[in-house]
A and B are shown apart, each in its own frame.
Chain A
Amino acid sequence: MSDMKPPLALLAELTHRCPMRCAYCSNPLALDPSSAELDTATWCRIIDEAAEMGILQIHFSGGEPTIRKDLEILSAHAAERGLYANLITSGVLLDEARIESLARSGLAHAQLSIQDCEEEAGDWIGGLAGAHARKWKVAEWLGKAGMALTVNAVITRHNAERVGAMIDLAESWGATRVEVANVQYYGWGLLNRAVLMPTREQLMAMTKVVEAARERLRGVMVIDYVIPDYYADRPKSCMGGWARRFLNVTPSGRVLPCHAAETIPGLVFETVHDRPLKAIWADNPAFERYRGIAGMPETCQACDRREIDWGGCRCQALALAGSAEAVDPTCEKSPLHEEVQALAAREAVSGHRDIVYRSFSLEKSDPSGKAR
């Protein structure tokens, strides 16, 4: 395994705590409690291990990573070790002083999520009153602090018509990049899929808006576009391939190839206390299981897109076909492809508005007390 390439990036899920309760959250349904979180010293050791194995980027994520008071220590440590340190945040816990402190700590970039460009709709999806208004201030403070900014615009059927306005908002905030990120259906997002799924017509319309914006904003703002692959003919290259580009460490220290990997039964993952990251990456059996061409379903192994799509998503195969060994049903080569497209189309017009909000104890609630 000495010739194995290291992953590009470490996804450091510092915490599962988050004041927002987003309907689309990709965190697992069983969230790690704060008492299980790794301490500062352990995260610093993980950053050292990541740098030594050749990882180039670290994404501080969660949950809401700014809930951790040691975030500056960790980002400074990452910067010192030469890692490109990226903060993935909802912004709602930030004030101007904290942003200045984070900007000084060595972060290379911040990614701020927005749930909409309209307050009521955004706060409904995010499950937190006042969140939307807060983000406007946060964007302003990030700009004042000189922090490079990506706006992550999360798209559902409830805001699909406002994709253009959200891109304009990102531009007005001085972002150099915007992610038009259609929800991917994992974790809480999968649970709420019928509430969130857009129609195919909405998808086609937003694709046109994105293409026009890309042309207009060339050299000004990069637009990354992630579609809901339920409507695609070929699956997304999830994580750039299982255990190929990314390494994920959960709040309590479990080492995964992606944040949904633990949904797959039978896989045994190690923790940062068991072995160094490099050893886990090299030969942990769960990482090896679906890695590379050898780990793909036979249909994928024989496909000329095997090193483009990398076999799609094993977690999605499990969620939609009932087996992680199956062809990802978002691929037209899956026998379930038409069924999945029909399912998406049906859910998109279902009229469901009953969000199961993210929480440490799974229960149904609606902060507004009324359906919109």
Chain B
Amino acid sequence: MKRERVIIGAASVPRFSPHVRFQEDKVGGRWVVLGPERMFVPDEIAVHILQRLDGAKDVAAIAAELAAAFDAPLETVENDVITLLQDLADKVVIIA
């Protein structure tokens, strides 16, 4: 059951690791990522990305949705999505 580092690309289908919860903090009025003795508050752009991790969409589809929603160039958006998700994969916050 040896696991390996996930490398995120356009075809990756990212989802949260089993120990991670991404949820709305209603009292604090924000979205938070929770793990064991971990909590971080993603910025607004990251929230839009993380809300689209459903275990079905690949990175290309997520980037296309965001590019359309924010009227931004697809290539730039896709690079930003990959950078964010790779960082989170390296912290085992997401898997793919």
Chain A residues near B (Cβ < 8 Å): 6, 8-9, 52-54, 56-57, 59, 82, 84, 86, 108-109, 111, 146, 148-150, 171-172, 174, 176-177, 218-222, 224
Chain B residues near A (Cβ < 8 Å): 1-6, 17-19, 21, 23, 25-28, 32, 34-37, 39, 89-92
Q: Which 6 A-B pairs have the closest CB atoms?
A: A148-B19, A54-B27, A219-B5, A84-B34, A148-B18, A109-B19
Q: Which residue of A lies closest to B5 (CB)?
A: A219
One of B3, B6, B19, B26 near A177 (C-beta < 8 A):
B19
One of A6, A8, A52, A177 near B36 (C-beta < 8 A):
A177
23 A-B interface contacts by CB (under 8 A)? A8-B39, A54-B27, A56-B25, A56-B32, A57-B34, A59-B37, A84-B35, A86-B36, A86-B37, A108-B19, A109-B19, A148-B17, A148-B18, A150-B19, A150-B36, A218-B90, A219-B4, A219-B5, A219-B89, A220-B3, A220-B4, A220-B5, A222-B92
Q: Are the CB atoms of B21 and A108 closer together than 8 Å?
A: yes
What is the minimal beta-carbon distance from A337 to any residue of chain B, in angstroms? 28
Given contacts A108-B21, A220-B5, contact A57 B90 (CB under 8 A): no
What is the minimal beta-carbon distance from B55 to any residue of chain A, in angstroms? 15
How far, in angstroms, from A9 to B67 measured CA to CA in the complex?
37
What is the minimal beta-carbon distance from B9 to any residue of chain A, in angstroms? 14
Q: Which residue of A lies closest to B28 (CB)?
A: A54
- In the complex, which residues of chain A have a beta carbon less than 8 angstroms from the beta carbon of B1? 172, 174
Q: Are the CB atoms of B23 and A57 closer together than 8 Å?
A: no
Q: Which residue of A lies closest to B1 (CB)?
A: A174
- In the complex, which residues of chain A have a beta carbon less than 8 angstroms from the beta carbon of B17? 148, 176
How far, in angstroms, from A298 to B34 measured CA to CA in the complex?
35
13 further A-B contacts with Cβ under 8 Å, apart from A9-B37, A86-B36, A220-B4, are A8-B39, A54-B27, A54-B28, A56-B34, A84-B21, A108-B36, A109-B35, A148-B17, A150-B19, A176-B18, A177-B19, A221-B3, A222-B91
How far, in angstroms, from A30 to B28 measured CA to CA in the complex?
37
Given contacts A84-B34, A219-B89, A222-B91, contact A56 B39 (CB under 8 A): yes
How far, in angstroms, from A143 to B37 measured CA to CA in the complex?
20
- In the complex, which residues of chain B have a beta carbon less than 8 angstroms from the beta carbon of A53? 27
- In the complex, which residues of chain B have a beta carbon less than 8 angstroms from the beta carbon of A171? 2
Q: Are the CB atoms of B19 and A219 closer together than 8 Å?
A: no
What is the minimal beta-carbon distance from B15 to any residue of chain A, in angstroms? 13
How far, in angstroms, from A9 to B32 measured CA to CA in the complex?
13
How far, in angstroms, from A6 to B32 measured CA to CA in the complex?
14
One of B4, B18, B39 near A146 (C-beta < 8 A):
B18
Q: Which residue of B lies closest to A57 (CB)?
A: B34
How far, in angstroms, from A59 to B39 measured CA to CA in the complex?
14
How far, in angstroms, from A171 to B1 measured CA to CA in the complex?
9
How far, in angstroms, from A198 to B48 measured CA to CA in the complex?
47
How far, in angstroms, from A265 to B78 measured CA to CA in the complex?
58
How far, in angstroms, from A108 to B21 measured CA to CA in the complex?
8
Q: Which residue of A lies closest to B8 (CB)?
A: A219
- In the complex, which residues of chain A have a beta carbon less than 8 angstroms from the beta carbon of B2? 171
- In the complex, which residues of chain A have a beta carbon less than 8 angstroms from the beta carbon of B92? 176-177, 219-222
How far, in angstroms, from A82 to B36 measured CA to CA in the complex?
15
How far, in angstroms, from A149 to B25 measured CA to CA in the complex?
24
How far, in angstroms, from A221 to B2 measured CA to CA in the complex?
11
- In the complex, which residues of chain A have a beta carbon less than 8 angstroms from the beta carbon of B18? 146, 148, 176
How far, in angstroms, from A37 to B3 measured CA to CA in the complex?
42
* Residue among A174, A218, A219 with most chain B CB within 10 A: A219
What is the minimal beta-carbon distance from A140 to any residue of chain B, in angstroms? 11
What is the minimal beta-carbon distance from B87 to any residue of chain A, in angstroms? 10
How far, in angstroms, from A57 to B91 measured CA to CA in the complex?
19
